[in-house]
Amino acid sequence: MKKKLTRIDLQKMKDTGEKVVWVTSYDYWTAQFAEQAGMDMILVGDSLGMCIYGYEGTIPVTMDQCVWHSEAVRRGAPNTFVIGDMPFLSYQVNCDEAVRNAGRFYKEARVDAIKLEGGRRVYPQIKAIAEAGMLVMGHIGLTPQSSGQLGGFKAQGRTAETALELIEDARAIQQAGAFSLLIEAVPPEVCRIIRDELTIPVYSIGAGIEADGQLMIVSDILGIFQAFTAKFVKKYANLGEETLKALKLYAEDVRMKRFPEPQHTYNMIEGELPKLLTLLKREK
């Protein structure tokens, strides 16, 4: 049986240069496959708003949705380090709400850590959640919950000034007590500077190969998310096309009366059909 990683294992992997590989998952079946494929971690991202619910962004996603999907993932991947993603307005208002909502992920979905977006401005929340005994991952760069302020889903830290802001955010996150940091859509050079400076693991989604590990959205890897494809996405399958093909074949079979065939139906127990016909005759 696969052994679930701990924070200490993840730290050792950074220290020895072993890459961490992780994906998002939102449901029982992809979680099962992620665990079977040997993923080190799974993020139940609030990207479920786009990948599962068809929202345009992550803003409408609720705590209940995140907790329910985390529960399903936990059941599918009992031996993988699972991270719950705190949705918009579940931690921004104050530290008490942040701790209580982080605690819901722990109590109801039995996650191993939570992640929240933002740098220096969420220092108090990261500190409060960590002081309550939970593991917190920071997330900087392209932070989808504040994409309005960022001017859209755009790469971040491409100028010296904005890169320096990110470096200061990263320092604050580590100082607040986060156990790791995720950097999204940032040039690799900036990610490398942060990785070298921080003692905690620094992971990338769209921030280059030098990070301590890589995250990808499962719907992108499988080729089932159709709304848009970010520059940093590599598709490893085209399940979108396969799904469409299968559904069209099924529809055609039904319409042409080719499905179901005898092997897809149940036989009556021997001798029961004549009995039924007799009973029906008597009824008349």
User: Where in the sequence numbering do the catalytic residues fall?
Assistant: 184
Judged by CB, which is closer to ligand KIV: 193, or 215? 215
Of 83 and 176, which CB lies nearer to ligand KIV in the complex structure?
A: 83
Q: Which of 25, 47, 180, 204 binds ligand KIV (CB under 6 A)?
A: 47
Residue 183: φ, ψ to 5°: -115, 125
Interaction of residue 24 with ligand KIV, rule CB under 6 A: yes
Window 150-179: residues binding ligand KIV (CB under 6 A): none
Residue with smaller CB distance to ligand KIV, 129 or 260: 129
What tokens does 214 get?
Answer: 């890589």
Binding mask 215-254 for ligand KIV (x = CB under 6 A): x-x-------------------------------------
46 in contact with ligand KIV (CB under 6 A): yes
Residue with tokens 């942060």: 194
The span from the CA of 54 to the CA of 191, in Å, is 31
- 204 is a contact residue toward ligand KIV (CB under 6 A): no
We find the least distance from the C-beta atom of residue 272 to ligand KIV, in angstroms, to be 54
Query: Taking the complex as a whole, how short is the minimal distance between the CB of residue 225 and ligand KIV, in angstroms?
Result: 11
Q: Are 24 and 215 in contact (CB under 8 A)?
A: yes
Confirm or reject binding of residue 61 to ligand KIV (CB under 6 A): no
Told to check if 85 binds ligand KIV by CB under 6 A, we report yes
Radius of gyration of the chain (CA): 24
180 touching ligand KIV, by CB under 6 A: no
CB of 156 to ligand KIV, least distance (A): 13
The single residue among 40, 45, 140, 207 that binds ligand KIV, judged by CB under 6 A, is: 45
Residues of this chain that interact with ligand KIV (CB under 6 A) are 24, 43, 45-47, 85, 182, 184, 205, 215, 217
